[in-house]
Chain A
């Protein structure tokens, strides 16, 4: 008696968990979740916000030598996936919970538009400029490379990656 009840419960539970797993897997696939684990720059335009950045990168000077991640993610394996996870979390939260009509009075602004790079990602970016161009620029960029008084490469070379800011 007890056994049958238990196994019936197991069955019900298995159906529920299976449904969850199925819907979850489909959602993950539909949202192109796997693309975020790899390096194809197209993944960065999945959520449409960085469409202009992506388009102008394709026409920009670095498109043949560096993709999004080459400049925007740290080089080491763990640091890279930590940065992917951190940025992915913020982007997903911001994109999902943005206001559908951000202009209406009293609407909360989840993120700035045009989007702007924040200190964590700017440090990664700067390090990546120097990773390739350091030999050429080490006379310019002495001492701290990411501190307050560092010479920021993209301050002048704004368009090397992508011109669009919108």
Chain B
């Protein structure tokens, strides 16, 4: 009896004891959580491995910067927006052909490799693989040069190695340019083989291409960009969105413009992307170059191509199979088009929207899962623009929808002009006085349409500029069409 009373009287004490223990445990857990957040806010990292310029494998960098590496790896994931990308399709896991949405692309590229295979994009992780699975680059046809590696691979160790062999006494910059020329003169597959034999091996672009391995500062490495931005700075082209070029121009110009020395931190956050997301020429028999010596606008690039001569003949990319006229091919002029837009003018860099800051715990890092801002509207647009995610997305779509409609209208004009010019050609009018003028009109029209269609933003990077270019393209195509249809007297 007494024993039972004793037990009963002990129950509240045991319960209070248990409750206190649980509460203490929870408080300790909270304490640990606060401690972790405070540690994160100090932004520490452990440099567990030493890195050098030759470390092209991102995995090794990932040991020191695992969060950034995690983001980089996620570029393997397929993603799609309303107009860009494409979820993995039926054809062996590749994104859809661009001509599925815009059938006129096959007509404007008639006789060129882009009529054979021209797919939508995949993420950064695929850049090297994609260059090797495209039917534009079949090993047995050997149609591509080693120039492709300038952007499709982490290629600097190979440039340096070949440059050292070619110019043992040269400066590092001269050696890199010599290496660039050597690799550019090779067949793509031979160049790839040499790259794979370097100690680091063949990797897609990785950390070392944009970051200094000692300081992690952003820097540009690609000789194509360094040469081109130097020429752009030395020109009198209007570049109000690049303040460091204005400062360099106002100085004594004793040394040529060097983005790694003169560029602002904010400019570097675009320049690293502009090493590759640009218009360039990389055909066989020439070293890759970006055509910026007159400026970044569509007609300034066109003017540089128009004055170029290859073996004494006017420069061209290919001859159109249906019309017989020589053409220029545009690549993906994202940097050039962004340069004409309001975001560039406001000092917004590529990385602000495509690699926005994000938080993990109390740590603020920039997103290395580089992708469309439309897939992360709050972080990208919301950092400056008020409004809900849905509202901001709808505003971006309004721009893109209008642009897409105008783009297809220009495509329709292109097809009708090509029909008329092909009919004229079938009549076999050698020496027709109209031919020279039609040749000029159609090349200008096609260059403008291709420039806009190849640019990856469906109008967003500079809506008004792109609409201007499409307007000119439609006008030029229709004038070529009218001239081709007109009976000569």
Interface stretch (choices A15-23, A59-67, A130-138): A15-23
Taking a contact as CB atoms under 8 Å apart, the answer to whether A165 and B386 are in contact is yes
Interface stretch (choices A34-42, A77-85, A99-107): A99-107
A27 within 8 A of partner (CB): yes
When C-beta atoms are compared, the residue in chain B nearest to A92 turns out to be B30
| The residue from A13, A16, A27, A49 contacting B359, defined by CB atoms under 8 A apart | A49
B310 within 8 A of partner (CB): no
Q: Give how many B residues have a beta carbon under 8 Å from the other chain's beta carbons.
A: 36
When C-beta atoms are compared, the residue in chain B nearest to A28 turns out to be B27
Given known pairs A13-B13, A114-B379, the reply for A20 and B358 (CB within 8 Å) is: no
Taking a contact as CB atoms under 8 Å apart, the answer to whether B30 and A27 are in contact is yes
Give bound CA distance, A30 to B39, whole Å.
Answer: 13
Interface stretch (choices B14-22, B109-117, B183-191, B463-471): B14-22
Taking a contact as CB atoms under 8 Å apart, the answer to whether B41 and A48 are in contact is yes
Given known pairs A5-B6, A165-B382, the reply for A113 and B359 (CB within 8 Å) is: yes
B147 within 8 A of partner (CB): no
A139 within 8 A of partner (CB): no
When C-beta atoms are compared, the residue in chain A nearest to B379 turns out to be A113
Given known pairs A19-B24, A24-B27, A165-B384, the reply for A102 and B378 (CB within 8 Å) is: no
Taking a contact as CB atoms under 8 Å apart, the answer to whether A47 and B37 are in contact is yes
Taking a contact as CB atoms under 8 Å apart, the answer to whether B34 and A27 are in contact is yes
A165 partner residues in chain B, CB cutoff 8 A: 382-384, 386
B90 within 8 A of partner (CB): no
Taking a contact as CB atoms under 8 Å apart, the answer to whether A17 and B20 are in contact is yes
Taking a contact as CB atoms under 8 Å apart, the answer to whether A112 and B20 are in contact is no
When C-beta atoms are compared, the residue in chain A nearest to B24 turns out to be A20
A31 within 8 A of partner (CB): yes
Given known pairs A27-B31, A113-B379, the reply for A102 and B360 (CB within 8 Å) is: yes
B362 within 8 A of partner (CB): yes
Taking a contact as CB atoms under 8 Å apart, the answer to whether A16 and B17 are in contact is yes
| The residue from B21, B361, B382 contacting A114, defined by CB atoms under 8 A apart | B382
Given known pairs A13-B13, A166-B383, the reply for A95 and B30 (CB within 8 Å) is: no
B23 within 8 A of partner (CB): yes
A144 to chain B, nearest CB (A): 21
Taking a contact as CB atoms under 8 Å apart, the answer to whether B358 and A112 are in contact is no
Q: For chain B, residues 347 to 366, give those with C-beta under 8 angstroms from any C-beta of chain A.
A: 357-362, 364
Give bound CA distance, A51 to B16, whole Å.
Answer: 41
Taking a contact as CB atoms under 8 Å apart, the answer to whether B378 and A31 are in contact is no
B256 to chain A, nearest CB (A): 36
Give bound CA distance, A103 to B21, whole Å.
Answer: 35
B360 partner residues in chain A, CB cutoff 8 A: 100-102
Give bound CA distance, A166 to B359, whole Å.
Answer: 10
Taking a contact as CB atoms under 8 Å apart, the answer to whether B13 and A48 are in contact is no
When C-beta atoms are compared, the residue in chain A nearest to B384 turns out to be A165
When C-beta atoms are compared, the residue in chain A nearest to B376 turns out to be A103
Taking a contact as CB atoms under 8 Å apart, the answer to whether A31 and B23 are in contact is no
When C-beta atoms are compared, the residue in chain A nearest to B74 turns out to be A103
A91 partner residues in chain B, CB cutoff 8 A: none
| The residue from A9, A16, A95 contacting B10, defined by CB atoms under 8 A apart | A9
Taking a contact as CB atoms under 8 Å apart, the answer to whether A12 and B17 are in contact is yes
B33 within 8 A of partner (CB): yes
When C-beta atoms are compared, the residue in chain B nearest to A16 turns out to be B20
B28 within 8 A of partner (CB): yes
B280 within 8 A of partner (CB): no
B43 to chain A, nearest CB (A): 10
B290 within 8 A of partner (CB): no
Give bound CA distance, A9 to B358, whole Å.
Answer: 52
B369 within 8 A of partner (CB): yes
Q: For chain B, residues 369 to 404, give those with C-beta under 8 angstroms from any C-beta of chain A.
A: 369, 378-379, 382-384, 386
Give bound CA distance, A98 to B361, whole Å.
Answer: 8
Give bound CA distance, A47 to B33, whole Å.
Answer: 11
Given known pairs A16-B21, A47-B37, A48-B41, the reply for A166 and B27 (CB within 8 Å) is: no
B379 partner residues in chain A, CB cutoff 8 A: 113-114, 166
Taking a contact as CB atoms under 8 Å apart, the answer to whether A113 and B358 are in contact is yes
Taking a contact as CB atoms under 8 Å apart, the answer to whether A95 and B37 are in contact is yes
B359 partner residues in chain A, CB cutoff 8 A: 49, 102, 113
A108 within 8 A of partner (CB): no
Give bound CA distance, A166 to B381, whole Å.
Answer: 10
Taking a contact as CB atoms under 8 Å apart, the answer to whether A27 and B27 are in contact is yes
A158 within 8 A of partner (CB): yes
Give bound CA distance, A154 to B364, whole Å.
Answer: 27
User: 1/0 per position for A133-166, CB-CB distance to B under 8 A?
Assistant: 0000000000000000000000000100000011
A16 partner residues in chain B, CB cutoff 8 A: 16-17, 20-21, 24
Taking a contact as CB atoms under 8 Å apart, the answer to whether A114 and B378 are in contact is yes
Taking a contact as CB atoms under 8 Å apart, the answer to whether B378 and A113 are in contact is yes
Give bound CA distance, A163 to B20, whole Å.
Answer: 46
B27 partner residues in chain A, CB cutoff 8 A: 20, 23-24, 27
When C-beta atoms are compared, the residue in chain B nearest to A9 turns out to be B13
Taking a contact as CB atoms under 8 Å apart, the answer to whether B6 and A2 are in contact is yes
Taking a contact as CB atoms under 8 Å apart, the answer to whether B24 and A48 are in contact is no
A57 to chain B, nearest CB (A): 17
Taking a contact as CB atoms under 8 Å apart, the answer to whether A103 and B358 are in contact is yes
10 tightest A-B CB contacts, nearest first = A48-B362, A166-B383, A16-B20, A20-B24, A27-B31, A48-B41, A9-B13, A31-B34, A24-B27, A20-B20
List 26 A-B pairs, Cβ < 8 Å: A2-B6, A6-B9, A9-B10, A9-B13, A16-B16, A16-B17, A19-B20, A19-B24, A20-B20, A23-B24, A23-B31, A27-B28, A30-B35, A95-B37, A96-B30, A98-B361, A100-B360, A102-B359, A102-B360, A103-B358, A103-B369, A114-B378, A158-B386, A165-B383, A166-B357, A166-B379
Chain A interface (Cβ within 8 Å of chain B)? 2, 5-6, 9, 12-13, 16-17, 19-20, 23-24, 26-27, 30-31, 47-49, 51, 95-96, 98, 100-103, 112-114, 158, 165-166
